[in-house]
């Protein structure tokens, strides 16, 4: 897409977790599909996972030293203002040098300085808010943003109503159609076709309660004919893998991180997951029964709010974090005993899907530019 023979340049900023990074990459891919000659630059936070994941997806990324404030008293908080000021200066330099026609912020530490720098220069900005509870940075930047793309209704309590567009969260394209992938998926992960497959997801870094819940009942799961495909996360993998090895259980497949999520979803009969924004959006497209165990360690308990939006539609089951250890299997068992209920949940969750989110965000961005 060009104006006066100039290739349109887009900056996409933010990251920190997969919940920010993968929607950002999905937006970039959709923009490139619509406008193959466009140039896209990502800006992330140094040391965060976007610095590896974005280049893997084929895009250039620059890092800022910005970091968040720790909720507890910490010496690292003393360096916060210095890192912020340096990041603001670097963001101004990046924006000036790249000369984007628009900037997209997806949340995360780097999003703030870059959107602020763009807004000061009068460059159109679009905010993509994944959660049902808006983050502080996005709320502060919303007044000068041109469009705010959201994944949940009722977001006018955080943002100017006239700027909101209800698009849903963009997700990885490879999960939009899982048909015909089950056999390949079972072979890829070394799973048996005659066992009930439970996919357990705690996010890219891991979820302590979910991991402890699996450890507590993994023998009972295997003894009753289940197999578990278990993403334990970066922080917990070595410990979990060692415990599975000691247990000598053959059908508990623990992974640090699952890159081939389309195959993981295709293999699963049922999914146990945190209720982060990206997870909820992806699982609605997958259309299989889900048990949500929301993290209690998030702002305004927004994961519970995310999950309840689905539970209230008969599209998922909620298991509280405080009750999960020792109760995971008794929550899962009835869904395999009542296949009609499980199928109904799968249909209900699919009704809440927004498969064209990335395309709608691209259209919103186009309207800002034009």
CB atoms within 10 A of CB 318: 17
Q: Is 280 annotated as a binding residue?
A: yes
Q: Is 277 annotated as a binding residue?
A: yes
Q: How far apart are CA 10 and CA 98, in angstroms?
A: 9
Query: How far is residue 289 CA from its own chain's centroid?
Result: 19
Q: Is 328 annotated as a binding residue?
A: no
**Would you state the torsion angle of the CA atoms of residues 29, 31, 33, 39, taken in this order, to the nearest 10 degrees?**
-90
**Would you state the torsion angle of the CA atoms of residues 359, 363, 368, 370, taken in this order, to the nearest 10 degrees?**
140
Q: Is 165 annotated as a binding residue?
A: no
Q: Is 112 annotated as a binding residue?
A: no
Q: Is 148 annotated as a binding residue?
A: no
Q: Is 17 annotated as a binding residue?
A: yes
Checking DSSP bridges between strand 196-201 and strand 164-166, what pairing results, if any? unpaired
Q: Is 258 annotated as a binding residue?
A: yes
SS3 assignment, position 52: helix
* Distance linking the first and last C-alpha atoms of the chain: 11
Q: Which residue do the tokens 């405080």 mark?
A: 322
Q: Is 105 annotated as a binding residue?
A: no
Q: Is 18 annotated as a binding residue?
A: yes
Contacts of 108 (CB under 8 A, 6+ apart): 13, 14, 15, 16, 17, 20, 44, 45, 48, 50
The DSSP letter of residue 252 is E
- Over its C-alpha atoms, the chain yields an Rg (Å, rounded) of 21
| HSE of 370, CA atoms in CB hemisphere, 13 A | 7
Q: Is 281 annotated as a binding residue?
A: yes
Sheet bearing 290-292, strands edge to edge: 252-255, 226-231, 196-201, 270-273, 290-292, 317-318
One-character DSSP codes across 74-100: -GGGGGHHHHHHHHHHHHHHHHHHH--
The full length of the chain comes to 370
Contacts of 71 (CB under 8 A, 6+ apart): none
Q: Is 367 annotated as a binding residue?
A: no
Binding residues for UDP-N-acetyl-alpha-D-glucosamine: 17-19, 131, 172, 204, 258, 277-282, 303
Binding residues: 17-19, 131, 172, 204, 258, 277-282, 303
């Amino acid at each position: 897409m060009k104006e006066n023979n100039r290739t349109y340049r887009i900056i996409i900023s933010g990251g920190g977790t997969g919940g920010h990074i993968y929607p950002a990459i999905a937006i970039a891919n959709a923009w490139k599909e619509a406008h193959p000659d466009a140039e896209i630059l990502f800006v992330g936070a140094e040391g965060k996972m976007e610095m590896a994941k974005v280049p893997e997806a084929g895009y250039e990324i620059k890092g800022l030293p910005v970091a968040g404030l720790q909720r507890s008293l910490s010496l690292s908080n003393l360096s916060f203002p210095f890192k912020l000021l340096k990041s603001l200066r670097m963001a101004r330099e990046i924006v000036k040098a790249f000369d984007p026609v628009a900037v997209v912020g997806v949340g995360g530490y780097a999003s703030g300085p870059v959107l602020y720098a763009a807004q000061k220069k009068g460059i159109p900005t679009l905010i993509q808010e994944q959660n049902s509870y808006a983050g502080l940075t996005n709320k502060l930047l919303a007044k000068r943003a041109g469009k705010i793309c959201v994944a949940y209704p009722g977001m006018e309590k955080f943002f100017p109503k006239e700027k909101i567009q209800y698009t849903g969260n963009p997700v990885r394209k490879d999960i939009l159609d899982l048909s015909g992938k089950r056999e390949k998926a079972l072979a890829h992960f070394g799973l048996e076709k005659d066992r009930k497959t439970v996919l357990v997801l705690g996010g890219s870094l891991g979820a302590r309660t979910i991991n402890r819940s699996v450890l507590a009942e993994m023998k009972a799961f295997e003894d009753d004919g289940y197999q578990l495909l278990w993403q334990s996360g970066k922080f917990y993998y070595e410990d979990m893998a060692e415990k599975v090895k000691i247990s000598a259980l053959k059908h508990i497949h623990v992974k640090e991180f699952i890159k081939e999520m389309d195959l993981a979803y295709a293999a699963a009969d049922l999914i146990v997951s945190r209720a982060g924004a990206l997870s909820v959006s992806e699982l609605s497209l997958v259309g299989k029964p889900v048990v949500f165990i929301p993290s209690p360690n998030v702002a305004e308990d927004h994961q519970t709010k995310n999950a309840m939006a689905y539970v209230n539609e008969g599209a998922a089951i909620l298991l509280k974090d405080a009750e999960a250890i020792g109760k995971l299997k008794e929550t899962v068992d009835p869904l395999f005993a009542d296949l009609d209920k499980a199928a109904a949940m799968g249909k209900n969750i699919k009704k809440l899907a927004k498969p064209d989110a990335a395309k709608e965000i691209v259209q919103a961005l186009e309207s800002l530019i034009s």
